[in-house]
């Protein structure tokens, strides 16, 4: 399968713990995006990379959140000191350049107890 993959698919954690998610984009795609989606809402933009450079972070992304794309391929999203409000589906998408459609991965569903 050559689509966008994400790992893990589900994560249950206790409040205060740190979690890390991974996204592997489509191999030739230079852009990688992270979104968060809660029930009944559309995805909300968090941050994006062009190659290894992080170009923008949403105001939704507090200092507890950090994202990296060290070699311009896979990306990680870390949440430190998780809170119950962080419970959501975290979606990763990739595209070839900016003006083409974004292809989404299956998402990581985070539940913070």
Partner 1 sequence: GQNIDQPTEMTATEGAIVQINCTYQTSGFNGLFWYQQHAGEAPTFLSYNVLDGLEEKGRFSSFLSRSKGYSYLLLKELQMKDSASYLCAAGGNDYKLSFGAGTTVTVRA
40 versus 70: smaller Cβ distance to partner 1: 40
Q: CB of 81: closest distance to partner 1 in angstroms?
A: 27
CA 53, 58, 61, 63 dihedral sign is positive
Region of residue 97 (left: phi > 0; alpha: psi -120 to 50; beta: else): left
User: Which 2-41 residues touch partner 1, going by CB under 8 A?
Assistant: 4, 33, 35, 40-41
Asked if 85 and 65 count as a contact pair (C-beta separation under 8 A), the reply is no
Contact range with partner 1 by CB under 8 A, out of 17-25, 67-75, 80-88, 101-109: 101-109
Place of tokens 């999203």: 77
Write the binding mask 48 to 87 for partner 1: x where contact by CB under 8 A, - elsewhere: x------xx-------------------------------
């Amino acid at each position: 399968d050559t689509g966008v993959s994400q790992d893990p698919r589900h994560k249950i954690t206790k409040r205060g713990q740190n979690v890390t998610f991974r996204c592997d984009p489509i191999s030739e795609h230079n852009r990688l995006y992270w979104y968060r989606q809660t029930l009944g809402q559309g995805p909300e933009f968090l941050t994006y990379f062009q190659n290894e450079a992080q170009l923008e972070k949403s105001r939704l992304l507090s200092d507890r959140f950090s994202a990296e794309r060290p070699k311009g391929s896979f990306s990680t999203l870390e949440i430190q000191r998780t809170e119950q409000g962080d419970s959501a589906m975290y979606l990763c998408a990739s595209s070839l350049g900016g003006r083409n459609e974004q292809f989404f991965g299956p998402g990581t569903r985070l539940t913070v107890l």
